[in-house]
Chain A
Amino acid sequence: MRSMENIYICLASPIVVSILCLRREWRKSMIFILAGMTGYLLAAYVTSFFAGLIGCDTTTTSHAIAPVVEEVIKFLPIVFYLLVFEPRRRDCSNALLLVAVGFATFENVVFMTYYGASDLIDVLIRGFGTGAMHELCCCTVALGVFLLWDHPWLKALGTFAFLCCAITFHAIFNIVVSGSTFSMWVGSVIPITIFGIYLAFFHKKI
């Protein structure tokens, strides 16, 4: 855990400096990326806490507790942004994606630190897979926000429903990529493919 904090400080420092220097819109983008990274660190603490509380092994933690905690924590900065700043839809969508980018980047760096980065192909597949999965989960939640945010009675129910979808997808991804190399490849290609379909057909509609 200590090395993860060190990595966080190392990655966050340049972003903090850039936040101090940049102007309005650019600064906002950097804040969301930093929020994503901070979210990952926080998620690691909360996941460890619940794993200890329930008494789960590492495998169960990775596919049953981590997805729930990570998706909820990833959504928290956006809830704050939505409720406090009342942004336009496009801004909210971009914010969700940037939080996912920060989250996935930090997760990939931690993964490479623990498991090594000698095999370029594996790292490439894993990097794109994780990135696509996190961004797809955020896009799912964004779809909910855009589809249902207009009706007050749908706010809580709809957002929670889309969050449940994202959590399950994340959990299935975690199980599949934890298997053999072939399994990791398959697991990584699925979110990339779905994200490609999303970009091709749904992104412009939003």
Chain B
Amino acid sequence: MFELTENTVQVLILSACVGVALYRSIKFGDKTSVLLLFFNGSYLMGDLYWQVCLYYFGESPQLPIISDLSWYGSFMFLIILIRTELADSGVKKKTPGNITKKILPFLSFVFTGGLAAYFMQYGQITANILYAIFFGHILYTVFNIYWNYEKPTKRLKYVCVLAFIFCMGEYGAATASCFWEHEGITNPYFWFDMLMTMSFPFYFIIPELTEREVES
């Protein structure tokens, strides 16, 4: 019951985000809004597929490949969003860069790879490897922008912070589910999942930031 409520909250928040993104895509037709539409939409469809399976078959999907594909799609849209923001901001790489700072972002792959190796004992080897690659890439891009680019814009920093919170929410929830199995508000899984869910609406401040920058 608790899981159902939590999933419903996530679906409702994501649906609202998809609605706003759709409105913005129709009104402004900018690439950020379209990418946000698909980032939220893809994550929402992964959740919906799970819920539809529960409703129609009374059990979670036997092959979770479809939900996983949908969530991979969402992570890819987030990577594209960060890369697009980076390209549009016109921020350049530091030259000559600090070698230590150039190497440090690669530790993201060590972090995600290590956790993937830990999660593999619970099964789903391929899915865990793919999750490690996608989240490793997101975290690598975030840290690379912070350490190796000259004065990232406010908008770019904001996108990076949100992407970092998203990753921490996902990994926190996944790690917590390995240690705490009970349902309820005392389970850290719930808080991490909510942290991730609550990060979705904040992406809509990105276009607002541009409008403010243009006005000022």
Contact = CB atoms under 8 A, between A and B. Distances in A.
B38 A168 contact: no
> Size band of the B side of the interface?
20 to 34
A168 B80 contact: no
Contact of A172 (B42, B48, B77): B48
Contacts of B56: 175-176, 178-179
B114 interface: no
Given A148-B80, A161-B38, A175-B56, A168 B65 contact: no
A164 B80 contact: no
Identify whether the interface residues of B are mostly helix, strand, loop, or mixed.
Answer: helix
A205 interface: yes
A103 to B, nearest CB: 19
A158 B63 contact: no
A162 B38 contact: yes
A31 interface: no
A188 B189 CA distance: 36
A51 B76 CA distance: 28
Nearest to B72: A164
B46 interface: yes
Contact of A56 (B63, B76, B87): B63
Contact of A64 (B31, B46, B62): B62
Interface string A160-182: 11111101110110011011000
Nearest to B61: A64
Interface string A124-157: 0000000000000000000100011001011001
Nearest to B26: A201
A178 to B, nearest CB: 8
A164 B73 contact: yes
28 contacts: A56-B62, A56-B63, A63-B53, A63-B61, A63-B66, A64-B66, A67-B66, A68-B65, A151-B87, A157-B76, A157-B79, A158-B76, A160-B73, A161-B38, A161-B42, A161-B72, A161-B80, A162-B38, A164-B73, A165-B38, A165-B73, A168-B49, A168-B66, A171-B49, A172-B49, A175-B52, A197-B22, A205-B29
Given A56-B62, A63-B61, 6 more contacts: A64-B65, A148-B80, A161-B77, A164-B42, A164-B70, A165-B42
